[in-house]
Amino acid sequence: MIKWQRILCGAALLIGGAGCTVGEGHGDVLTPEGDHLYVADCWNGPFDLKPDFFAANPYREESLMIRVQRGDNNEEASDGLLVIVNDLAAVKSSLNQPLEVGLPNGVTPPGQPVTGEPNPVVSLSLYLHQSCHEQNSATYSVGGTITFSKIFSGNPNEKNSDERSTDAEFDVTMADPRDLLDATDVSKVTGHLTGNFHFFFQRGQPAQPFQ
């Protein structure tokens, strides 16, 4: 695992210290018609995640990690989308407004300029560990937007049902920044994902922890 992937995993573990909780919900993560997803040595073509597992993982009511996944297995054996909200307060104050996404903090190889929004409020990572069975089978948001109309308050003891709801839609460009270093045609090494997710936070023992 290369350094910037270890940083991302460390961030997930940091946020995951509070334990994740599965919520009831629905959503889509797919390529629009005529577009494709690209992950080197793994995937190059249309994609539809068809998620049926939704989990929210708050950290001190400051940040939130959302996992939208197919199946309830652990991340290392699954296909899914991680949405990392680095500044929960900023998102709450910007509901119904498109937010620029960028690379997760630390996911930039040496010598590669930062792509997308710097220090993004929200970043996305798609992992295809079930489909591709490769250590580095992941791609990251390098552009586009996500819009939240509702977001979980981050309080595990939240009583207000509306404050336990998360509702978002996104339209993003995905890439592995290593593939952008020497690409002569960026369109061949980037992908386009759109989708949405809607679920309620439910406190309880996690079905699978982030590990």
pLDDT at position 178, please? 83
pLDDT at 5: 38
Confidence (pTM): 0.82
Over the stretch 66-114, which tens digit does the pLDDT of each residue have?
999 999 888 888 999 999 999 999 999 999 999 999 988 766 555 555 5
Residue 45 pLDDT: 96
Distance CA 94, CA 195 (A): 19
The radius of gyration of the chain's CA atoms, rounded to the nearest angstrom, is: 16
Give every residue of the chain whose pLDDT is below 50, as ranges.
Answer: 1-20, 206-211
Quote the pLDDT of residue 58.
93
